[in-house]
Structure 1
Amino acid sequence: MKENNNWISTKEESTEPVRLNKFISHNSNFSRREADKLIEEGKVKVNGKVISNLATKVLPSDKVQIGKQNVKHEKDKLITAIVYNKPKGEIVSKNDPQGRKTIFDSLGKKYKHFLPVGRLDYASEGLLLLTDSVEALNALVHSNLERVYKIKVNGEISKQVEDAMQNGLELEDASLGAHKNSKIKEMTFKPFLAYDIQRNESNFSRIKVVINEGKNRELRRFFGHFGLDVLDLKRLEFGGVSLNNLPTGKSRFLTRDEYRNLRHFLNEDDRSSK
């Protein structure tokens, strides 16, 4: 399969059996969890037989059906991914009931079928990956790939905050910094992979952090616990993909090296889940 800067083939054709839920998620719009539910509900057939065992494995040559719909195996599945430098004041959604501007208003119709990898809230900015592949989306969202952020908070980063960054933090109530409608209360924060305090003053501080989770408003909740409001939050990198000099509000395809790394990551994820 020919490779260019816009497209990649995620994996070579395999004759090894794979889990049925993975086969469905790789070749449809269903996630693995959704595929498991379909199997449990008796809606999935393999070679004409209803399957109820979630551990069932299939080959590319097997006939898989959901209801009466065939799940077609794509031998050379192509993935497109882009980087968008999201500005503040845009919603990461297809549409917004409140009529606020969404990222797709800026990206345009040709990317309307793309899926955002995770979220950046309305007041946050920076690197947002989008892809047309459900497989890539699921793998990236649930990965432990590094995320790099630049943050400004309205106070001093104390030793207590540093200890929590170094050792992790468990909160029964992590509602400070959360969206007002969020139902998530308890939260566990892993130790940060790295951090660099670039300014530390009583009026405001700047810090660069590296984490490998993507929980709901994780950083706003973390600093909120210590009475620090996040004034600015910008994501600079995700899984080795960087903004570099991409202007705010603009998008680009991944570079050839970034696509190569993505393909390697997806292939590794593919093997580890067999």
Structure 2
Amino acid sequence: MKKEIEEEQEESLTRLNKFISHNSNYSRREADKLIEEGRITVNNKPVKDLATKVSNKDIVRIGKKVIKEDKNKMYTVIIYNKPKGELVTKNDPQGRKVIYDSLDKKYKHFIPIGRLDYASEGLILLTDSVDVANKLMHSNLERIYKLKVNGPVTSKVEEAMLNGLELKDARVGGHEKSKIKAMNFEPFIAYQIISNNKNFSKIKVAISEGKNRELRRFFGHFGLDILDLKRFEFGGISLNNLPTGKSRYLTKDEYKDLRLFLNGDE
């Protein structure tokens, strides 16, 4: 019983810089600087140890201002720039590489928000909050991709992007083991044809859904295979200059926008 109590107390502890960044306008890096400068007190005692952890019973101050816990903010979201050749899953029976092989061990329990298939690359959001993951996965937030297809973007393709598409058989482009057959595609939010040629074309698209291999099925209906697919943005959160195979925390402005969305104040 004593061991269980100790484990429960340990689980309720939060890294001090995380506590500050999630309950104030300071980023984690800024919180670390405040700690190093001795401007943070915990239970009226100055703290300079960056490894300090606190619970919701501790009184944390920046100067004279008390930082109060907002349970709605106590979550972490990271961005991972997934390379091709990794699966967005915990493990693979075939022994293929998964994103958790590349991510730091401290993210092993994080939940991916949506997926990119083995041959796709780009932005994946992950979080330690089931609630945040569910709300974002089932949202209509804008997802932006750059694609390369093996043929021309015809007027029929453009018409479907503008007006949407309903397919009774959307298996082309889907995974061979997928049980999904019919699929409805909402009109694209926007698209830009970067190049349009007989052999291959490049296009930038913005969609509001994240269905199973949605883009591969959509273009596959028109006989177009997607040769390259990279997601650059999800809900206003962008890869920017994040290198392939690397991850980062959200910025304080990204957290602010995310909280506005989660609180329904878009």
1:6 CA drift (Å)? 4.7
Partner of 2:213: 217
The residue type paired with residue 183 of structure 1 is K
Note if contact 1:127-1:238 (Cα within 8 Å) is conserved in structure 2.
yes
Deviations 1:65-111 (A, max 9, x none): xxxxxxxxx96240100000000000001111010011000002110
Alignment counterpart, residue 150 of structure 2, candidates 151, 154, 170: 154
The residue type paired with residue 2 of structure 1 is S
Deviations 1:119-159 (A, max 9, x none): 00000000000000011001000000000000000000000
Deviation above 3 Å: which 4+ runs of structure 1? Answer: 1-4
Which blocks of at least 5 consecutive residues in structure 2 are unaligned? 1-22, 30-68
Instruction: Please give the secondary structure, in 2, of the residue aligned with 1:268.
Output: coil
Greater RCO, 1 or 2 (C-alpha within 8 Å, sep 6+): 1
Partner of 2:11: none
Instruction: Please give the secondary structure, in 2, of the residue aligned with 1:79.
Output: coil
Q: d(CA) in 1 for partners of 2:202 and 2:148?
A: 5
1:208 aligns with 2:204: yes
Quote the RMSD (CA, aligned, Å): 1.6
Q: Normalising to structure 1: TM-score of the pair?
A: 0.72
Q: d(CA) in 2 for partners of 1:211 and 1:190?
A: 8
1:229 CA drift (Å)? 0.2
1:116 aligns with 2:112: yes
Note if contact 1:149-1:208 (Cα within 8 Å) is conserved in structure 2.
yes
Note if contact 1:6-1:254 (Cα within 8 Å) is conserved in structure 2.
no
Partner of 1:48: none
The count of residues paired between Structure 1 and Structure 2 equals 204
Identity between Structure 1 and Structure 2 (%): 69
Alignment counterpart, residue 83 of structure 1, candidates 71, 79, 84: 79
1:254 aligns with 2:245: no
1:5 CA drift (Å)? 2.7
Instruction: Please give the secondary structure, in 2, of the residue aligned with 1:101.
Output: coil
Which blocks of at least 5 consecutive residues in structure 1 are unaligned? 8-73
Partner of 2:42: none
Q: d(CA) in 1 for partners of 2:258 and 2:106?
A: 22
